[in-house]
């Protein structure tokens, strides 16, 4: 059933910041290597790095320091981060931003004196977010894609990775099985090193921000390959997702944090301000606090016509709002809302997964030959990610992975793949082609959205998490019994939707299991039955492998709770 087999020294899954940086660095280290970037969409046109609005955190200013960036990251992550990973992030972010500007051709906004402009972002003690207006991701991805196109780097576009295939001994990676979405045929790529950089993406929630191609495929493949995943309960919600009805994909997309920062009010369905009742910082509290307050208000039923809340900016002066938030005003106008002078419906929206595959600072994983970088990896951000640390994470570790893979494949040879594993993966993908009564996938998708939103979302408790696990098992069985309406293979997007849902259900189970295991509230994870945070000195992270969650102690390798690396504060 495999129509084509290809060889590539290095195979990269995903073309976001992580994948493209890895390709460029591996090529720079050893230009004679065969390197292939395989991607579900079109290179440069998909994934979330392209969607980055706010910017990139990096300690560039003389008054800032890597120690300060590190402490903000560790404290923001509620002491769950792997400190060696966080340290690498803050140190190498400086090199990467210089490479982006000086070698790859990005233009970031500048001050009048020629220095790079850095803006304020929530949760940080210094204004360190480098940006290009509010379209930073487009600048980064366009320049990276151009550089990849200009080099001898292979591309498999509209190729969906469906399984990581080990060698016949099961001890190392031998390659990856794909579906060529253009023909529907199976393609196997043998590789000496593989990078998992498919970018996670919590699109199993009713409201979410990431691009539609992100359906946790990499994490689902890693779970099936028996790799440990950490911090899976940590899902970040952004408070102000646009709520414009079910007919538009604009619902769930982000209205930037600066609106609340500038003094915007959140109102309930009765048009009353409620945030001061929840937190002294009101609308300026952190993302997790505001999202929880909003969810509680929604639960009380005092909601807008679409079931959310309002953001109101008019008291700041409509002209001023139009000037300061041009892009946001236009986005809202596209959906019939007047942000400058009226009310806009909003709802918290699932934004980012802090959890992912456990990995070492050199991007190696428990499976020799398999590397991971970007949002597929876990441990850098702990219980919460600072805005601006996401794209820093994917570019920093993508580059590390590229360097390491180039060294890894030196002297390595191709392995013989486990043929039975390829056959089993194909059998899995073929399930919806079996004869049966064709049906719509929509009810199953709605079920997933609803149960994750209600039971595994912003507020969680033991009973809801247990119910969710049973619901997810039932949903998985329903998906296995489901039949495609069309047996066409080329660009059969319903087939790919089914595969998307299979990945999302597998990863949702991991989130629910990890959330049930963490009997405390911390960072993005809130348990109404355990509202307090445990002792920080005894911090442990969840690690899930083969459906079993264990708690592993956090190693405070650089700083312990109560201490700081900042000399003048110590
Ligand atoms: C709206 C929005 C705004 C954001 N703003 C910021 C910000 O201001 N600052 C910040 O730091 N972070 C921000 N983030 C987070 C940031 O985008 C991510 O942290 C980061 O870009 C992830 O990079 P990545 O390379 O891991 O994944 P991505 O850039 O998402 O790339 C993943 C790639 O994998 C491909 N892929 C997926 N599945 C498969 C498969 N099965 N087979 C083959 N390929 C596959 C995708 O098509 C894509 O090419 C934002 C995110 C969103 C959604």
312 and 267 Cβ atoms separated by less than 8 Å: yes
Tell whether ligand 1 has an atom less than 6 A from the beta carbon of residue 214: yes
306 and 336 Cβ atoms separated by less than 8 Å: no
Does the annotation count 25 as an active-site position? no
Ligand 1 atom with the smallest distance to the CA of 214 is 37
Tell whether ligand 1 has an atom less than 6 A from the beta carbon of residue 92: no
178 and 194 Cβ atoms separated by less than 8 Å: no
Atom 14 of ligand 1, residue of closest alpha carbon: 52
Atom 19 of ligand 1, residue of closest alpha carbon: 390
Please tell me the distance between residue 267's alpha carbon and the centre of ligand 1 in angstroms.
Answer: 31
Distance CA(532)–CA(83), nearest Å, equals 24
Does the annotation count 260 as an active-site position? yes
Which of 23, 36, 49, 352 most suits a substitution to test ligand 1, by most atoms within 8 Å of the C-beta? Answer: 49
Tell whether ligand 1 has an atom less than 6 A from the beta carbon of residue 160: yes
Number of Cβ within 10 Å of residue 79's Cβ equals 21
Please tell me the distance between residue 203's alpha carbon and the centre of ligand 1 in angstroms.
Answer: 12
Distance CA(390)–CA(214), nearest Å, equals 15
Tell whether ligand 1 has an atom less than 6 A from the beta carbon of residue 395: no
Please tell me the distance between residue 548's alpha carbon and the centre of ligand 1 in angstroms.
Answer: 28
Tell whether ligand 1 has an atom less than 6 A from the beta carbon of residue 53: yes
Residue 435 has a pLDDT of 83
Please tell me the distance between residue 51's alpha carbon and the centre of ligand 1 in angstroms.
Answer: 8
Please tell me the distance between residue 466's alpha carbon and the centre of ligand 1 in angstroms.
Answer: 30
Tell whether ligand 1 has an atom less than 6 A from the beta carbon of residue 231: no
Ligand 1 atom with the smallest distance to the CA of 253 is 1
Residue 133 has a pLDDT of 86
Residue 568 has a pLDDT of 65
157 and 116 Cβ atoms separated by less than 8 Å: no
Please tell me the distance between residue 531's alpha carbon and the centre of ligand 1 in angstroms.
Answer: 31
Tell whether ligand 1 has an atom less than 6 A from the beta carbon of residue 199: yes
Atom 35 of ligand 1, residue of closest alpha carbon: 14
pLDDT less than 70: residues of the chain? 568-570
Residue 569 has a pLDDT of 59
Atom 38 of ligand 1, residue of closest alpha carbon: 198
493 and 466 Cβ atoms separated by less than 8 Å: no
Residue 123 has a pLDDT of 77
42 dihedral zone (left: phi>0; alpha: psi -120 to 50; beta): beta
Please tell me the distance between residue 287's alpha carbon and the centre of ligand 1 in angstroms.
Answer: 19
Structure tokens, 162: 């469906």
H/E stretch holding 358: strand 356-358
Please tell me the distance between residue 16's alpha carbon and the centre of ligand 1 in angstroms.
Answer: 6
168 and 417 Cβ atoms separated by less than 8 Å: yes
List of residues 6+ apart from 362 with CB closer than 8 A: 400, 404
Tell whether ligand 1 has an atom less than 6 A from the beta carbon of residue 54: yes
Alpha carbon distances (Å) from 201 to 377, 446, 529: 12, 18, 27
Please tell me the distance between residue 482's alpha carbon and the centre of ligand 1 in angstroms.
Answer: 30
Tell whether ligand 1 has an atom less than 6 A from the beta carbon of residue 14: yes
378 and 229 Cβ atoms separated by less than 8 Å: yes
Residue 112 has a pLDDT of 96
Atom 29 of ligand 1, residue of closest alpha carbon: 16
Tell whether ligand 1 has an atom less than 6 A from the beta carbon of residue 374: yes
Q: Is the dihedral of CA 131, 136, 140, 143 positive or negative?
A: negative
Catalytic residue of the set 27, 260, 292, 525: 260
For the entire predicted model, the pTM comes to: 0.97
Angle at 547 between CA 546 and CA 548, to 5 degrees: 95
Count the residues in the chain. Answer: 570
Per-residue buried b or exposed e for 270-286, using 16+ beta carbons within 10 Å of the residue's own CB: eeeebbeebeeebbbbb
160 and 181 Cβ atoms separated by less than 8 Å: yes
Catalytic residue of the set 238, 351, 381, 518: 238
Tell whether ligand 1 has an atom less than 6 A from the beta carbon of residue 46: yes
Tell whether ligand 1 has an atom less than 6 A from the beta carbon of residue 394: yes
Alpha carbon of residue 156 to chain centroid: 22
Closest residue by Cα to residue 17 from 96, 121, 117: 96
Closest residue by Cα to residue 426 from 225, 163, 212: 163
Tell whether ligand 1 has an atom less than 6 A from the beta carbon of residue 198: yes
DSSP 316-349: G-HHHHHHHTHHHHHHHHHTT--TTTSEEEEEEE
DSSP 270-292: TS-B-GGGT-TTGGGS-HHHHHH
């Amino acid at each position: 059933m495999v129509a084509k087999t290809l060889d590539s020294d290095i195979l990269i899954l995903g073309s976001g910041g992580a994948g493209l940086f890895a390709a460029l660095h591996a090529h720079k280290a050893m230009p004679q290597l065969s390197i292939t970037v395989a991607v579900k969409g079109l290179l440069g046109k998909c994934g979330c790095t392209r969607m980055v609005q706010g910017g990139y955190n990096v300690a560039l200013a003389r008054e800032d320091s890597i120690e300060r960036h590190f402490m903000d990251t560790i404290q923001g992550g509620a002491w769950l981060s792997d400190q060696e990973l966080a340290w690498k992030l803050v140190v190498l972010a400086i090199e990467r931003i210089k490479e982006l500007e000086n070698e790859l051709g990005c233009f970031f906004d500048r001050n009048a004196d020629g220095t790079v402009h850095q803006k304020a972002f929530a949760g940080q003690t210094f204004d360190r977010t480098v940006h290009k207006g509010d379209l930073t991701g487009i600048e980064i991805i366009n320049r990276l894609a151009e550089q990849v196109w200009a080099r001898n780097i292979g591309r498999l576009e509209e190729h969906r990775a469906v399984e990581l295939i080990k060698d016949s001994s099961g001890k190392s990676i031998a390659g990856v099985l794909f579906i060529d979405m253009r023909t529907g045929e199976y393609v196997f790529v043998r590789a000496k090193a593989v990078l998992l950089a498919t970018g996670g993406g919590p699109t199993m929630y009713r409201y979410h921000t990431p691009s539609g191609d992100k359906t946790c495929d990499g994490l689902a493949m890693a779970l099936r390959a028996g790799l440990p995943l950490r911090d899976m309960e940590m899902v970040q919600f952004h408070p102000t997702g646009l709520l414009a009805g079910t007919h538009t994909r604009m619902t769930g997309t982000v209205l930037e944090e600066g609106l609340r920062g500038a003094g915007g009010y959140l109102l309930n369905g009765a048009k009353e301000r409620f945030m001061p009742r929840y937190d002294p910082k009101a609308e300026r509290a952190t993302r997790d606090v505001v999202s929880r307050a909003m969810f509680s208000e929604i639960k009380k039923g005092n909601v807008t016509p679409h079931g959310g809340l309002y953001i109101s900016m008019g008291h700041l002066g409509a002209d001023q709002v139009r000037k300061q938030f041009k892009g946001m005003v236009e986005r809202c106008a596209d959906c019939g809302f007047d942000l400058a002078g009226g009310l806009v419906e909003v709802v918290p929206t699932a934004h980012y997964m802090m959890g992912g595959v456990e990995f070492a600072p050199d991007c190696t994983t428990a499976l020799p030959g398999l590397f991971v970088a970007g949002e597929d990896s876990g441990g850098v951000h702990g219980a919460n990610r600072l805005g601006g640390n996401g794209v820093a994470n994917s570019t920093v570790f993508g580059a590390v992975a590229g360097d390491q893979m180039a060294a890894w494949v030196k002297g390595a040879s191709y392995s013989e793949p486990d043929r039975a594993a390829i056959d089993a993966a194909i059998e899995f993908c073929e399930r919806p082609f079996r004869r049966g009564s064709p049906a719509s996938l929509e009810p199953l998708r709605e079920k997933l959205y609803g149960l994750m939103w209600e039971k595994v979302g912003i507020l969680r408790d033991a009973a809801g998490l247990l119910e969710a696990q049973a619901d997810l098992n039932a949903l998985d069985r329903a998906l296995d019994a489901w039949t495609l309406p069309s047996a066409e293979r080329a660009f059969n997007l319903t087939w790919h939707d089914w595969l998307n849902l299979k990945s999302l259900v597998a990863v949702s189970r991991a989130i629910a299991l990890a959330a049930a295991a963490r009997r405390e509230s911390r960072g993005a994870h809130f348990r109404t039955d355990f509202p307090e945070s445990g002792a920080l000195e005894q911090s442990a992270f969840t690690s899930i492998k083969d459906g079993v969650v264990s708690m592993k102690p956090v190693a405070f390798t650089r700083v312990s709770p109560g201490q700081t690396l900042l000399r003048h504060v110590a």
